[in-house]
Amino acid sequence: MSKEKLEFVEPVDTNTDNEYSREPVPLGARKSCFSLTIVWTGFVFLVTSMMAGGGLAAGVTFNELLLAMILGNIFLCIIAGLVSVIAYKTGLTFALLTRYSFGQEGSRIASLFVPIVNLGWYTIQAALYGHFIAQVFNLSYTGEVIAMMLSAVIMGIFAVLGIKSLAVFGYIAIPSIVFLSLGTAARSVQTIGGWQELFNYVPLQPIDLLSGITIVIGTWILSTATCIADIMRYGKSKKDVITASTIGLLGGNTLMISCGAIAGVAMNDGDLINVLLSFGLVFPSLLLLTTNIFTTNGANLYSTSLNLANSFKLNRNMMLAVLIAISALATMTQPYKIDSLFVFLSTLGIIVPPLCGIILADFYLVHRGKYIDYNKATFKKWNLVPWITWAIALVCVKFIPFGLPSLNGIVSGALLYALITYIVKPNVVSESKR
């Protein structure tokens, strides 16, 4: 374990919020590398990544798929590692990190974007789970509505209990998902006629390798750019957070995409749940969806509450109660059927990444890898530079004719912020005299 000295003085905990939503995580509350790995990997294990793998299988050969997964996940690991190190060194949530670049009041607005996206996906996945329960047990419309609302509430309980509950649930979720995913992949390989047939597969609608890589990057670009900080701030060392973030992406995301791709080739369906049901495996599919969505959605709402606690200056548990209530009511609209909502969320997925570029540039380029201790820092209320940067970056993303918009947003946001800050030289944070 690295003995690298942390950059902040351990504060006295006078806050009733034991998840440290508005202060650095003290040294005594830091978690093991194993615990962080479990939480983050449980977050990464998501059915939608399998669906992405199934989509990839329609356009690339299996050899190209393997290359796209490796290169795409390596890029995600780099972004995740950079953000994780900042979180470890400061002990701060992503929302609090934005104060160093946006200012104290500007941070409250900036940190709203990520939770809007996360809350939307939380609601969709809770509704999807309730809908699946209704299908399995042949429930009426009223029964489905109740199942969806209860899903939102029960999943929220894990976020209320905090990072410890997410880790405990991950101990159950991850082995079951790995077992079922690998088992389904093996069954799919048998169905297609063996591994040789898999490698001989020729896609019906070929796409270029770069497009395949960008699809892989797109699976987790948003969370690796933002939400991962809320988990890795509990790290004890730089080595721990880099290891945990890398295992989650190279192991978890690669497994999800590859299993989805194998199922997509063999069964002409990239949705693992549908594949399991087609095999007549109702209970395993129920187990898979339960563990999969509960771990991801618990971590999802956990991160959302931390961001909104900063925006509205509310206790995290109070914010969670409000969010769970909103989500439970929103499931009644059956959001998994509303295409416009997915368009809305995709749009936000373009808007948010430049924010990550700004944060990375602010820490590594402007402040050269060392922030003033949060407990000793005095922040300006506003800094216009990141807002100007954000606007210009979005224009760049709009007109750049190649690559992934999320990736382009991160790169352009980082470069523009560093350049404009060098010219303007705003004094956003200073060390207080107290």
| Amino acid 166: pLDDT | 62
Provide the residue ranges of all domains of the chain, joining segments of one domain with +.
29-431
Report the share of the chain in percent with pLDDT over 70.
Answer: 88
Q: What is the mean pLDDT of residues 393-409?
A: 88
CATH class of 29-431: mainly alpha
| Amino acid 345: pLDDT | 57
**Higher-scoring residue by pLDDT: 394, 298:** 394
pLDDT digits (tens, 9 = 90+) for 333-365: 888 775 655 566 567 778 888 999 999 999 999
User: Across all residues in the chain, what is the average pLDDT?
Assistant: 84
Predicted TM-score of the model (pTM): 0.83
Q: Is the dihedral of CA 325, 220, 250, 93 positive or negative?
A: negative
Residue 381 in this model has a pLDDT that exceeds 70: yes
Give the DSSP per-residue string, 106-159: HHHHHTTHHHHHHHHHHHHHHHHHHHHHHHHTT--HHHHHHHHHHHHHHHHHHH
pLDDT digits (tens, 9 = 90+) for 214-247: 888 888 888 898 889 999 999 999 999 999 999 9
Q: What is the mean pLDDT of residues 244-251?
A: 93
